[in-house]
Amino acid sequence: MTLAQRLADGDEAALTECYVALGPLVRRHAGRLVPDHVVDDVVQLVFLEVWRHRRRFDPARGLEPWVLAIARKRAIDQLRAEARHSKRSVPLDDTAGVPDTTCAVDAACDVRDALAGLSAPQRQAIVLAHFGQLTQREIADRLAIPLGTVKARTTRGLRRMRELL
């Protein structure tokens, strides 16, 4: 039985042999597509996918082209992930375009302090509604209390927060 057939049948030893036989080829292929610091990650992802999707493999079509196609896809995924990451990151020396978040932090602290000034039932209703993103009906069901009680607690709590803020 060939290595490809054994791999398709789920033979774990075949995966090891596949890695030994095709690992250097996959590493060279990935090395042409991605930066050096992520080649090992791509190779690992390739052989993980080879094992996970071994049932999709058709031994009649050839093991090497199938593995290299997976390597190409994982390398492209890695490049896309790095591109997304580089768009989000801001170099330390280029902070001129970064908005000042101190006002937002101050506002968040004020809201936290105002929430602490509420009664426990009011605070619970507001936290579930705004931070838990639950509807008043869902809050009533979760707390096993009437809908009108949830509405009253929320309204009174928001009114009290307005005073505190």
Domain segments of the chain: what residues?
Answer: 3-88, 114-164
Mean pLDDT of 40-59: 89
Q: Is 103 left (phi over 0), alpha (psi -120 to 50) or beta?
A: alpha
Spell out a b/e string for 28-56, using b for 16 or more CB atoms within 10 Å of the CB, else e.
Answer: ebbeebbeeebbeebbebbbebbeeebee
Q: pLDDT digits over 77-125, tens only? A: 888 888 887 766 656 555 556 566 677 777 777 888 888 888 999 888 8
What's the CATH class of domain 3-88?
A: mainly alpha
Query: Domain 114-164 carries which CATH code?
Result: 1.10.10.10
Q: pLDDT digits over 24-41, tens only? A: 999 999 989 898 889 999
* Fold match flag (3-88 vs 114-164): no
